[in-house]
Amino acid sequence: MSWETNLGVGTCVQRAKLALRDSDFNQGLEIVGDRGNRTVVADHGSYQASLHCLVHGVNFVVIGPDYDQALWYRDTIIRKF
């Protein structure tokens, strides 16, 4: 799922970190990328969430063994973002 936003990449990264931690995705928290595009990645058990902070938006991705559970986690992270 993608959102258009004017938050800026730095603010997006900070909000992404908090949303992941508040959703119990706190294993292996990592930030990768350059100034224009940063990705915040964290795990929760066998599920991995990636929030891609772009200049004009953010993409939310959660992968794991159960599709419906991954969608539920994604929606939870979006609500907390």
* Whether the predicted pLDDT of 3 surpasses 70: no
- Domain total of the chain: 1
Whole-angstrom CA distances from 68 to 13, 28, 56, 74, 78 are 26, 23, 28, 10, 15
pLDDT, tens only, 17-71? 999 999 999 999 999 998 789 999 999 999 999 999 998 899 999 999 999 999 9
Instruction: Report which of 23, 24, 16, 21 is spatially closest to residue 81, judged by C-alpha positions.
Output: 16
In order, the DSSP letters of 52-65 are: EEETTEEEEEEE-S
**Residue where the block lists tokens 């159960």:** 66
User: What is the distance between the alpha carbons of residues 78 and 33, in angstroms, rounded to a whole number?
Assistant: 21
CATH code at position 24: 3.60.90.10
**Domain carrying residue 51:** 2-80
